[in-house]
Amino acid sequence: MANFFPRWTNWVPLKVVVCVIVIGCGLTAATWYYATPKYTKVGYQPIQPVPFPHDIHVTQLGMDCRYCHSFVEVAAQSNVPNTATCMNCHTQVAKDNPKLQPVQESWKSGEPVEWVWLYRTVDYVYYNHSAHVNRGISCFTCHGPVNHMSVVHIAQPHSMAWCLDCHRHPENYLRPDDQVFNLDWKPEDVKPAEFVAKYGQPGDTREDFAKKKQLTQAEIGQTLKQRWKITPPTNCQGCHR
């Protein structure tokens, strides 16, 4: 009796299996790479009840981050400003601007403005704001150039890998403590002689940093790391307590 199916169909099951494996591996790789905070969170820019332009308040008017986010140096969690903080200025400044109506209504009713939170750490992750900003980690490191944002968006992924990169190599991010809230700071701004007089330099270096024309981020960071004895945890217990 003749074969009902052509000879080439003998390979169909194997081809199907190979295709399923290849497609499955491709989907897994794509999910592993793209379904991460780097792609799902960075750039998120929600519409707020009041369009608060950070670039005007910080860069043009020179307001310090801590005027509105007053808990950042003393508490584990930072804060958004309450209505009274806004009204300290806006009872006089731009008081008739219709964009400020939610703030004015909040002031009259006592109900807080319903801001849309961008950065909210999940319950199973421990993060202390004050521990970071008091040891040379700037707002810029985690939140990007907020002082130049007309509308704030998420600038960094805040993933576990991203956090661990800083914990493993803090010297790449540390800056002088008096520059933590200067979001435009650059290593080139440091005057070597003044820096060494205040913080010293790593004990294992032979070159005199004070005589250099310019210090690199690595040199600044390594100095501060040794000076402040910074040894961030890199094990699970550091953040998952």
Annotated domain spans of the chain: 126-238
Count CB atoms within 10 A of the CB of residue 163. Answer: 19
Task: Tell me the three state secondary structure of residue 224.
Answer: helix
Instruction: Identify the band that residue 6 occupies on the pLDDT scale cut at 50, 70 and 90.
Output: confident
- Interatomic CA distance for residues 104 and 92, integer angstroms: 12
Greatest Cα-to-Cα distance within the chain, rounded to the nearest angstrom: 99
Residue 82's contacts (CB-CB under 8 Å, 6 or more residues apart) are 112
Q: ∠ at Cα 28 (22, 34), nearest 5°?
A: 130
Query: pLDDT tens digit string along 88-125?
Result: 999 999 989 999 999 999 999 999 999 998 988 888 99
For 156, how many CA atoms within 13 A lie in the half-sphere containing its CB?
Answer: 17
pLDDT of residue 12: 80
Residue 68 has a pLDDT of: 95
Tokens of 145: 């150039």
pLDDT confidence bin for 1, thresholds 50/70/90: low
Give 18-72 pLDDT, tens digit per residue. 999 999 998 888 887 777 788 788 999 999 999 999 999 999 999 999 999 999 9
Q: What pLDDT is stored for residue 9 in this prediction?
A: 73
- What is residue 192's predicted lDDT score, i.e. its pLDDT? 97
**Is pLDDT at 78 greater than 60 in this prediction?**
yes
Per the prediction, the chain carries an average pLDDT of: 92
pLDDT value at residue 121: 86
Q: Is the pLDDT of residue 10 over 80?
A: no
Residues 6+ apart with CB under 8 A from 188: 214
Q: 15 pLDDT band (50/70/90 cuts)? A: confident
Q: In b/e form, how buried is each residue of 102-117, taking b as 16+ CB within 10 angstroms?
A: bbbebbeeeeebeeee
Of the candidate ranges 14-18, 66-70, 171-175, 215-219, the one whose mean pLDDT is the lowest = 14-18
Q: What is the pLDDT of residue 2?
A: 61
As a whole number of angstroms, the distance between CA 60 and CA 150 comes to 12
By CB neighbour count within 10 A (0-12 exposed, 13-18 middle, 19+ buried), where does 140 fall? buried
Region of 111 (left: φ > 0; alpha: ψ -120 to 50; beta: rest) is beta
Q: What is the pTM of this model?
A: 0.85
- Amino acid (1-letter code) at residue 198: K
